[in-house]
Amino acid sequence: MNESVFQEALREIQSRRIRAEAENERRYAEINAKIPPIAEINAQLALTSTRIVEILRGGEDVQDRLEALRRQNEQGQQISARLLVENGYPADYLDMHYTCEKCQDTGYSGGSLCDCLRRRIAAAGIARMNRTAQLKLCDFSGFSLEYYKNRTSPDGEDCYTAMKKVFNGCLHYAETFSLASPSLLFYGSSGLGKTHLSLSIAKAVIDKGYDVIYDSVINLLGQVEKEHFGRGDADADTLSLLLEADLLILDDLGAEFTTPFYVSTVYNIINTRLNRGLPTIISTNLDIASIHQSYEERIVSRLFAVYECYHFIGADIRLLKKKSSPARF
């Protein structure tokens, strides 16, 4: 883990605690000024520790007197809550309200890092990765179905009809995304919009507040490999981020040179995320036969049996756009 990322995440969590405490003080001041009987109760409650010390010093009937003090405080709190409600406030208005109740915004719970701090650290790592991936986010509005009109695939399928289904499927996927969403496989030759639709989904899902990692398989595996063989940032843990992101988008599977390390890492990612029930989107320019050649049966069978498959068909849109743009002199 990167030290500065850790420190920054911890500072963010602890500033939540400072904000919660400041807000709590503000509420006390507000209510003490507005509702004098509560101010009186609060003044009594504030004396509790002094009175405990007195009782302990006195040394007589300690248990009984502590019990009486406890009951008195409890009554005071009940009255205070009732008065709050009578004055139009929530009964817990004067309680501390932390963003994370589990660690009370300290970042630590039960002697280890709290989930809220872990999530913050992961989010920082993901933001950094997407920056380096130069995530230029396409969106659905820039996607036109015109390019697929009046074309038939070699299998005799109407491209427009098929791609309309693909487009609507992606739109629906993005709109209804949750951690329970299925994994998707985009396959078909290059220039048909696989990257464009992957990025459109990425953008929509990021906007919903999920942690999304998008990059090409080459870049991501290169990063994992560097760290694995000790040549990367010693604290970086890209593999963990890939295994834990809410949505992982691996673009261009099959464009990489398949070493045993890459094949086993891809398998590990696909398998671990399936086991954790986390959605993944993989796109590839390879056809089914070529995927079979590059990757082992155990990977291919998961991709086609468990992932929802979207077959992209049509003509290379990069070329179509070039042809239709006016010639430049």
Ligand X SMILES: Nc1ncnc2c1ncn2[C@@H]1O[C@H](COP(=O)(O)OP(=O)(O)O)[C@@H](O)[C@H]1O
* Nearer Cβ to Mg ion (16/194): 194
Q: Cβ 128 to ligand X, closest distance in Å?
A: 24
CB-facing half-sphere around the CA of 134: CA atoms within 13 A: 1
Per CB under 6 A, 191 contacts ligand X = yes
Per CB under 6 A, 160 contacts ligand X = no
Per CB under 6 A, 290 contacts ligand X = no
Q: Cβ 214 to ligand X, closest distance in Å?
A: 12
* Nearer Cβ to Zn ion (98/186): 98
Residue of 143, 210, 267, 304 interacting with ligand X (CB under 6 A): 143
CA-based torsion, 86, 90, 91, 93: positive or negative: negative
Window of 97-105, 155-163, 272-280, 309-317 that interacts with Zn ion by CB under 5 A: 97-105
Cα 242 to Cα 233: distance, rounded to the nearest angstrom: 16
Residue of 24, 190, 258, 271 interacting with ligand X (CB under 6 A): 190
H helix or E strand, kind and range, residue 291: helix 288-294
Name residue, tokens 């593999």: 239
Per CB under 5 A, 100 contacts Zn ion = yes
Chain centre to alpha carbon of residue 168 = 24
Cα 312 to Cα 68: distance, rounded to the nearest angstrom: 76
Q: CB–CB of 1/227 below 8 Å? A: no
Per CB under 5 A, 253 contacts Zn ion = no
Residues in the chain: 329
Residue of 42, 80, 181, 195 interacting with Mg ion (CB under 5 A): 195
- Partner interacting with residue 48 (select from Zn ion, ligand X, Mg ion, none; CB below 5-8 Å by kind): none
Q: Cβ 2 to ligand X, closest distance in Å?
A: 31
Q: Cβ 130 to Mg ion, closest distance in Å?
A: 17
Q: CB–CB of 251/215 below 8 Å? A: yes
Cα 314 to Cα 147: distance, rounded to the nearest angstrom: 8
Residue of 35, 55, 94, 116 interacting with Zn ion (CB under 5 A): 116
Residue of 196, 226, 292, 302 interacting with ligand X (CB under 6 A): 196
Q: Cβ 196 to ligand X, closest distance in Å?
A: 3
Cα 185 to Cα 67: distance, rounded to the nearest angstrom: 65
Cα 55 to Cα 64: distance, rounded to the nearest angstrom: 10
Cα 117 to Cα 17: distance, rounded to the nearest angstrom: 13
Window of 90-98, 192-200, 230-238, 292-300 that interacts with ligand X by CB under 6 A: 192-200
Name residue, tokens 């261009």: 252
* Nearer Cβ to ligand X (254/279): 254
Q: CB–CB of 245/177 below 8 Å? A: no
Window of 15-23, 91-99, 173-181, 193-201 that interacts with ligand X by CB under 6 A: 193-201
Question: What are the beta bridge partners of residue 84?
Answer: none
* Nearer Cβ to Zn ion (81/116): 116
Window of 15-23, 104-112, 124-132, 142-150 that interacts with ligand X by CB under 6 A: 142-150
Q: Residue 80: exposed, middle, or buried by beta-carbon count in 10 A (0-12, 13-18, 19+)?
A: buried
Name the residues that contact Mg ion, by CB under 5 A.
Answer: 194-195
Name the residues that contact ligand X, by CB under 6 A.
Answer: 138, 142-144, 147, 190-196, 312, 317-318
